Amino acid sequence: MTTQHNKQLSPEQPFDEVLELVQPMITSILLKCHIYKDYEYYRHIASIAVWDAWRKADQSKGVFSAYIYTTVKGEILKELSKEKSFENINTPMDDETINYFREHEMSERNPTLECIMSHLKFEERKILQLFYVEGYSYLEIAKELGLSMDAVKKRRTRIMIKLRELLYSKDE
C-alpha cells in the first residue's frame, strides 16, 4: 500500500513524516466510519493510533501501512463503541425537566416529587428507579423486567412525557 507521493511507509522513517504521509488514509477511515461530528477528536485518536503502530511496528510481520490502517481503524471503532455504550447508560432527563425539579421541588406551592411519582404505575416507577437511581443500562432494565431493549427505551420516553405533562398540569 502506498500513500501520497508514492512514498512507501517504513517504521524507520521519523514519526512526523509517517504521520504526514498517512493523513489521507486517516481521512478515508474517518469517512468510512461515518464520522462527521467531533471530527478533530477522532483525528486525534487516529494520530495516537499511528504513534502506537509506529512504536510497535515489526517489518518482519507484514506491511507497515496495512498495520497502521488496521490499528487506526480499530482504535476509532473502539472509541465509537465506548461512546455508544456511554450514551446507552447515561441518557439523562432533558434539561428542562431536571431544572424544573431543582427550582420547584422545595417550593410549598408546587407538588413534590413524591406526589408526582404517585401518579405513575409501578412499572413506570421501577424503570425510572433502575435507570436514574441505580444506573442500569437499557439492556439491564430489559433483562430485569423481561422486556426488549426497544420497549424499555420507548417506555422511558413515554414516562418522561407523562412526567412533563404532570409537572405542567400541577403548576397551572
| pLDDT tops 50 at residue 4 | no
Q: What global pTM score does this model have?
A: 0.50
DSSP per-residue codes, 9-37: P-TTS-HHHHHHHTHHHHHHHHHHTT--S
Per DSSP, the three-state class of 108 is coil
Which residues, in sequence order, are CB contacts of 89 under 8 Å at separation 6+?
A: 135, 137
Torsion of CA 80, 38, 89, 106, to 10 degrees: 180
For residue 5, pLDDT beyond 50: no
87-108 confidence digits (pLDDT tens): 666 555 555 665 665 555 444 4
Residue 47: its pLDDT value, please? 93
pLDDT, residue 118, reads: 79
Instruction: Tell me which of 10-24, 111-125, 131-145 is least confident.
Output: 111-125
The whole-number average pLDDT for the span 140-161 is 90
| 50 neighbors 71 (Cβ within 8 angstroms) | yes
Q: What's the grid cell of residue 105?
A: 421541588
Give the CA-trace dihedral at 31, 36, 41, 44, to 10 degrees: 20
Q: What is the pLDDT of residues 43-100, one digit of tens each?
A: 999 999 999 999 988 877 888 889 999 999 999 999 988 887 776 665 555 556 656 6
